Structure formats: C-alpha cells, structure tokens
Amino acid sequence: MASSDSEIVKEFRFFRVYKDGRVQLTFPPFLKATVPPSDDPVTGVRSKDVTISSEPPVSARIFIPKVTDPKQNFPLLFYVHGGGFCMMSAFAPGYHSFCSTLSAEAGAIVVSVEYGLFPDRPIPACYEDSWTALQWVASHVSGSGPEPWLNDHADFGKVFIGGDSAGGNISHTLAFRVGSIGLPGVKVVGVILIHPYFEDLGKLECERVLIFVAEKDHLNTPGKNYLEDLKKSGWGGRAEFVENHGEEHVFHMRNPTCEKAVELTSLVMSDNIFFIHLISRYIQNDFFLCIKRQDFPILSVKVFVAEKDHLNTPGKNYHEDLKKSGWGGRAELVENHGEEHVFHMRNPTCEKAVELTSKIVSFIKED
C-alpha cells in the first residue's frame, strides 16, 4: 500500500497534488527549453533580455526591428506567453521565434514578459508580474527610462497588449487594469487574444469555490457578478462568498498580519489550498476581471479561436459578451477551422499559422 507521502489526492492536466501537500508538474521536460536573445541577420531584428524586478523576479525579452533612422519610432506590442499558468517561458524557442517574426513583419517593438509560474509562485503572481512589467514599459514615456530601445524608439501612442492561452487571460486583465487604474502617457489601442483561457463556468472540475471580495476594491462588483454568474451556470458545486468590509484591493498582501488578513488565510487553508490556487485562474480573492465592465478602454480587440480547441466556446462567448457589454470599440473574431489549441506554436510554418500571424501583423499596422 502506498504511503500517505506518495498518495495522489488530485490529478490535473499539468500537475498532480499529493496528500502531503507536494505539487508535481507533469508536462514534458522539453517544454522547459529556452534560447538566448540574438540578432537575426536576415530580418535585422535584434533582441535582448532585461531585468524589471529582482524581488519578485520579473524580466522580459525585447525585440526591435531594424532601425534605419535614429529618430524612428515603432508601435509596441506587450506580449504574454501561454502555458497553463505553470509552464513555458518568454525565452522558449517557439515564443522567441514568434515574437521575432511579429517584430520583423509588423515593424513593432515586442516586449515579451517573463512572469512567475505556479507552483513556485502561485497565482496571482502571473497577473501582478505582468502588470509590473507593463508599468515598467510605461516608465519610458518621458524618454528617461532604464531601457534605451524604449526611450528612443517606442511609440507610446500606439501600444498593443496580446497573448495566447493563459497569456490571453492575463492580457485581458491587463487591459482592464489600464481602464480602471490607468497607465499615464500610454495609449493602448488594441488587444490580441489568441485562444484565450476563459473556462466555461458550468464545466468547473471542482466541488467548491471560495470567493473573496473587498468592500473598497474597484473590483468588488465584478467579483460579486462572478458569484451570480457561477450560480446561474449550471455548475453543481458549492460557492462560498466572503466580503472584507472596509478593506481595499489585495489588502492581505500589504498587511498579512492584520486580523482580517489572518482570517482570510485561515479560510483558505481550512480546506483544499490547491483548489484555491486553481480557481485563481478565474478569481484570485477579489481579482476576477469581469468583461461586462463598460470602461474597457481599448479601441479594438481581435480574438482568435480554433475549431477543435476545448476553449473554442469560451472564446466565442467572450467575444459576444464584449459586444453586448456597452463597450464602444470594435471586436473581431477569427476562427481557424480544423485546428487545435495554439496550433500556430506547434507548426508555425503551416498555412493557417502563417495566416494567423499575418492577421496580427495587419492589426498592428492599421492606422
């Protein structure tokens, strides 16, 4: 009989949880591969890695097209890689190649963020790290930031946010934050979501959801809306709701020893903490970003879905909900028939992958 140390209590798609609390990632080792930055002699695209924060560790790979004029400015794409919130990297060979291609063909600076991954850095690290990186980009607006490529060549009046899979989910939250919190000096004109990870609420693979909101948080209402949507979804589990009165956004992170923060932690630890980490994909404490918010600041959103992707329906629902929300921008849906999730990363030279890249390039180059 297996000991309690080796007993698996829950098996998820990319990792398993043991009874003693250990988490073991189960994806293939080759997905951990990375490549260094390099200069492409054919396209002229250059790349470099930059450190944005040492604690917590946040970095990025920056790509810049061939510069033919010292005063030349390029639109900027802030890109967030996918990987189920627990794997892949901005430095992975596929993402390096994809971002380099976008930089060359769109004539754009690409900042590809390297964010913290579960389980070493549980959610909401991926959201917070990406927001930190986007704010770092914005710190160059006056031309006095730490990175010369951004100071000298970034057009902050034409910024795009994009990502695939989990990165699409994170990209949405970043766009929402720009609208609700602001990003002075930066105009985000478009969002690109490639097979974004928005799950069908009715298909949650769990029995219990614990939702925290804070009374003074700007995300209080979206969090409450999430609870109502979950109840209406047909999901058969039990949803619990906790509101921390008098508190603001992620107060427990700023003051973890205060009475209400200790109480919040106790509630999380009282049952299955690993489930809480998973459900954080949709709502981490009061962090669920509801697409019904009408102050979504972006002019255009392009959503890509793949016909055979398990995220096809949620992606289409996102597109429809965005159009119904009262948001006044332009939303476009592109469906790749006969294809599966992030097919363009597995076979970037196939006809439909080239077409997908071309549509992103055209979106960035639009006036």
Contact (CB, 8 A) for 286 and 214: yes
Strands (E), 120-175: 154-164
Number of CB atoms found within 10 A of residue 81's CB? 26
From residue 322, how far is each of 89, 163, 205, 329 by CA, in Å?
29, 17, 25, 9
Q: Which is the catalytic residue, given 164, 217, 286, 309?
A: 217
Q: Which is the catalytic residue, given 59, 103, 165, 280?
A: 165
For 292, phi and psi rounded to 5 degrees? -80, -5
DSSP letters for 178-202: HHHT--TT--EEEEEEES-----GG
For 31, phi and psi rounded to 5 degrees? -75, -5
Structure tokens at 290: 């509801």
120 is catalytic: no
Distance from C-alpha of 5 to C-alpha of 267, rounded to nearest angstrom = 24
From residue 193, how far is each of 153, 198, 206 by CA, in Å?
25, 11, 26
**Residue tagged 């962090």 (tokens):** 287
Which of the 8 DSSP states describes residue 233? Answer: T
Q: Which is the catalytic residue, given 96, 249, 319, 344?
A: 249
Q: Is 42 exposed, middle or buried (0-12, 13-18, 19+ CB in 10 A)?
A: exposed
217 is catalytic: yes
270 is catalytic: no
Distance from C-alpha of 65 to C-alpha of 104, rounded to nearest angstrom = 5
Catalytically active residues are: 165, 217, 249
